[in-house]
Amino acid sequence: MKSDKSKLKLGVVGCGAIGSRIALSTMKELKGDFTLAALYDIDCDRAQGLAGRMKLRGGAAKTLDALIRRSDIVVEAGLFRRGNRFCSRRNGSCR
């Protein structure tokens, strides 16, 4: 098994059913090559809840930019989008 410093850091955007499964697989089945570095969801409570269940060091990322900075690889698993802009709230308010 690789040391934590040589593993690729994975960030997961979207903490619903698909994102949760990716996070779990990373922690259990892919732990030899990857480490779960960051989680982000437009629903902050959902992201924090999954980060707690995964015992993620540093908790959930507060912004998408923060997730990107903490990750070598980013997997998008269901972020709500409107056109080519990412939405920060379910009501469609976009950045």
- The string of pLDDT tens digits covering residues 15-30 is 999 999 999 998 899 9
pTM (global) more than 0.85: no
Alpha carbon 5 to its chain centroid, in Å, reads 19
The Cα–Cα gap between 30 and 11 comes to: 14
- Model pLDDT, residue 23: 93
The pLDDT tens digits of the residues spanning 58-85 come to: 899 999 999 999 999 999 987 555 566 6
Pick the closest to residue 57 from 71, 42, 41, 37 (CA basis): 37
- Model pLDDT, residue 87: 57
Q: Tokens for 27?
A: 């922690």
Q: Is the pLDDT of residue 51 over 90?
A: yes
**Mean pLDDT calculated for residue range 37-60:** 93
